[in-house]
Structure 1
Amino acid sequence: MMDRLAVDELITDYATAVDDGDWEAYRGLFTPDGRADYRSAGGIEGEPARVADWLAESMRLFSMRQHLIVNRRLRFGLHDQDTGDTVRVRADYVNPMRLAEDEGAAPDFVCGGRYAFGLLRTHDGWRLREVVVQEKWRRLPSPAPAPVIN
């Protein structure tokens, strides 16, 4: 039960780091050999420092971000013959965001899909070894209606 709570906290820390733009915290969530893959959402794949730099740049478009990560399914596994050293997490997400140019407005960009997280227990606790985003849908801002000419 304690491992399950610790894993849940790590996933929440991941969402919070991305939403708050805390890229140092984001990098610290990963193992040294960690990888993140955002290609299905139009992003990149690579080691956490490189991906954090890409996220920092691309997230500037949005003044508000809010990852809602739900339906978490955990499967504890084996690593080096030691039960419980790894865990696979599948979780759905909805991510409303507001474009920076629309400050104060409701979110106008929303996407959703599924995360696949691979975690490893380290001496410092659970860390992300792999994050794969599978974006399933997105809703873009509606264009402004054309002016009515009388």
Structure 2
Amino acid sequence: MTQRVELATVMDRLAIDALITEYAHAVDDADWALYQELFTPDGRIDHRSAGGIEGSAAQTATWLADNLARFAVRQHLIVNRRLRFGVLEHDDGDTARVEADYVNPMRLAGGDAAATAPDFVCGGRYSFALSRTRDGWRLHAVVVQEKWRRVREPEDPTDGP
């Protein structure tokens, strides 16, 4: 590899990492306009393994907005990112795939204002398919594979010490 190719690869890796981070921030901050901008026009998202829908970025943004509104605090932690460029699969290098694990703690709205522990935590793996566009890297497909979840049971005020 030449230094120019190596530098381009590093720049692509940084841009893709930033895009995945923007994805997490858009969901956690309920920035549904930004969320949709992260996708190609034909981008698709599949949340069926977590009890959700499969649809376009606009459809999924609406579904997420409705379903995540019950949580006052959301924090998607996307880790262990494994990136593969399409050039490794003998295409023109304008595609990439990222597999990344996630942990998503959330706290319900309307609960104890002093509480800091999450009421709901889930984890699994994201599969991101990306395409290089005129506007930079964009998500073409996202598949969520939820592997586990834990829901904290509400405390019973009648239980004594």
Aligned residues: 148
Does 2:140 align with 1:132?
no
Q: CA deviation at 1:80?
A: 9.4
CA distance in 1, matches of 2:45, 2:125: 14
Q: CA deviation at 1:148?
A: 4.5
User: Structure 2: which amino acid aligns with 1:64?
Assistant: V
Higher strand share: 1
**Structure 1: stretches of 5+ with no match in the other structure:** none
Offset from partner CA, 1:13-65 (integer Å, 9 cap, x none): 00000000000000000001100011111110001001100100101110000
Does 2:16 align with 1:7?
yes
Match for residue 128 of structure 2?
A: 117
Q: CA deviation at 1:81?
A: 4.3
Normalising by structure 1, what TM-score?
Answer: 0.93
Larger Rg: 2
Match for residue 81 of structure 2?
A: 72
User: Structure 2: which amino acid aligns with 1:63?
Assistant: A
Q: CA deviation at 1:143?
A: 3.3
Offset from partner CA, 1:93-116 (integer Å, 9 cap, x none): 000000002244221110000000
Does 2:95 align with 1:86?
yes
Match for residue 24 of structure 1?
A: 33
Q: RMSD of the alignment, in Å?
A: 1.6
CA distance in 2, matches of 1:145, 1:58: 25
User: Structure 1: which amino acid aligns with 2:101?
Assistant: D
